[in-house]
Structure 1
């Protein structure tokens, strides 16, 4: 029998071991066992699969929600372009999903149902965050997996990338609660709006904030960190799960710092508008992959012009 292939990674992690022989083919295991062992040794594949699954599930649920909202709402309630969803064939969705959509769409009123609707709104915003932000987080996860693979090849302790992802998602879960609170405030100030686009001064203000933030120093700092995750991930590398979770939190905060103002655009175009969700998801991905500030500045200028145009139109129309 071959010599021992496992060694402890230290007294601070009792019961934790590393594979020393990275070339072992696990021939003593059955097919399923070999597959699991290979995935455990190379964490990149399962993390990418989980990331893709989260994105696909989020978009699927949001798509169904948008279709249902388009059917039960006024033609302009879902925002620009969403009326086409009402043309799709009628489908009987699961009762639980229909209830969830109804809970998100109904007005916020005092009473026992308020907590339930707030929870539904927070879940809705979290799904939107997953769908819109996870694609732009893929480079960060890829970078971590590459560093982890290198460390694992050197028989060093590696924290699974899922821990980093959990920290990142925790930030967006907290942000979803904040956006849900903002949605409730908007609903109280304009009960007829619901998830429909904010009009007049309110919509123009949301766009103006998003546009002005594109020119801010804080946006520059956050975007710089998001564009080059290697420096942060390498400098703060650790074999402790708590440290990697905190690293995920930090990366999530930088990402939130990049994109929180852009999420305000959803209030101006309809919170559940899938076309604008997709557009902003692509925008966030392109912005984080671009270099320099030109893309950032041009997008900020477009948002400010849009804000001004919306304000002028609303004032002329008395809205």
Structure 2
């Protein structure tokens, strides 16, 4: 899976979401914020609501495992391995996305005034939990992969299932937040995606209670910003 294809798929999904928010997409093709009662929404509609968001946010999170598959697979089998991984990973997130939408509908329906605050509290609590760190550790696992035949396809599929499971464990509470809001929905999605990408740069750690976040990415950004400011000052800009 080449980088331009993954990035292009994510960019296309972002473009579709932006067109949807502008009202330029036919009704039913994509909806980032559905207010229909839960019992009137079919599983297919739930999938259509979630799929563009999934491709926009989750494809970039698959770049590192796809790079691992690319390096560990025979040249003639790379595309098969990468597609097997992606199909398993995205299928798992598709199911998780449907469950998240059901949870959001319940929160909106029964906790209309406090649902968003509860989602924020759950996200913060999960962010500090040992299970969150265990899930992040799992995202770094690189399994042994067979080189030939059906065993290679099976291992690539299994890697997609395993990575998807850990990715859902790390991100599910975070993904509640943009689903709960209408104003600033796409901005919230972008922030959550960047936050999750930054978390992937952290090294594995012992699961324990404490804040788990993209500290390394923020420090790198701070250094780059400081270096850019010093260059501008040196040039008298």
TM-score (normalised: structure 2): 0.74
Query: Which of residues 145, 149, 166 is equivalent to 1:254?
Result: 166
**Residues 107 and 187 in structure 1, CA contact (< 8 A), matched pair in contact too:** no
Spell out, residue by residue over 1:71-97, the C-alpha distance to the aligned partner (whole angstroms, 9 max, x if none).
Answer: xxxxxxxxxxxxxxxxxxxxxx35xx2
Q: Give the number of the structure whose alpha-carbon radius of gyration is greater.
A: 1
Give the corresponding residue for 1:144. 69
Deviation at 1:105, TM superposition (A): 3.4
Counterpart mapping for 1:23-102 below 5 A: 44-45=1-2, 48-68=3-23, 93-94=24-25, 97-100=26-29
User: Are 1:269 and 2:194 counterparts?
Assistant: no
Give the corresponding residue for 1:135. 60
**Residues 214 and 297 in structure 1, CA contact (< 8 A), matched pair in contact too:** yes
Deviation at 1:160, TM superposition (A): 2.9
Aligned length in residues: 206
Spell out, residue by residue over 1:86-116, the C-alpha distance to the aligned partner (whole angstroms, 9 max, x if none).
Answer: xxxxxxx35xx23445796352175xxx244
Closer/same/farther in 2, CA of residues 102 and 257 from structure 1, 3 Å limit: closer
SS where residue 22 of structure 2 aligns? helix
Closer/same/farther in 2, CA of residues 103 and 236 from structure 1, 3 Å limit: closer
Query: Which of residues 158, 166, 179 is equivalent to 2:100?
Result: 179
In 2: Cα distance, 1:56 partner to 1:288 partner? 20
Give the corresponding residue for 2:129. 216
Closer/same/farther in 2, CA of residues 238 and 124 from structure 1, 3 Å limit: farther
Closer/same/farther in 2, CA of residues 218 and 237 from structure 1, 3 Å limit: farther
Closer/same/farther in 2, CA of residues 182 and 50 from structure 1, 3 Å limit: same
In 2: Cα distance, 1:182 partner to 1:290 partner? 29
**Residues 163 and 248 in structure 1, CA contact (< 8 A), matched pair in contact too:** yes
In 2: Cα distance, 1:126 partner to 1:102 partner? 10
In 2: Cα distance, 1:102 partner to 1:220 partner? 32
Closer/same/farther in 2, CA of residues 108 and 207 from structure 1, 3 Å limit: same
- Give the unaligned 5+ runs of structure 1: 1-43, 69-92, 191-197, 301-319
TM-score (normalised: structure 1): 0.56
In 2: Cα distance, 1:292 partner to 1:102 partner? 36
Query: Which of residues 117, 125, 131 is equivalent to 2:50?
Result: 125
Question: Structure 1 stretches (4+) deviating beyond 4 angstroms?
Answer: 101-104
Spell out, residue by residue over 1:20-76, the C-alpha distance to the aligned partner (whole angstroms, 9 max, x if none).
Answer: xxxxxxxxxxxxxxxxxxxxxxxx43xx343223212211111112223xxxxxxxx
**Residues 207 and 268 in structure 1, CA contact (< 8 A), matched pair in contact too:** no
Deviation at 1:256, TM superposition (A): 0.7
Closer/same/farther in 2, CA of residues 266 and 160 from structure 1, 3 Å limit: same
In 2: Cα distance, 1:242 partner to 1:140 partner? 16
Give the corresponding residue for 2:34. 105
Deviation at 1:297, TM superposition (A): 1.3
In 2: Cα distance, 1:124 partner to 1:138 partner? 24
- Give the unaligned 5+ runs of structure 2: 215-237
Give the corresponding residue for 2:211. 297
Closer/same/farther in 2, CA of residues 101 and 61 from structure 1, 3 Å limit: same
SS where residue 36 of structure 2 aligns? coil
In 2: Cα distance, 1:258 partner to 1:249 partner? 14
RMSD over aligned CA atoms reads: 3.0
Deviation at 1:172, TM superposition (A): 0.5
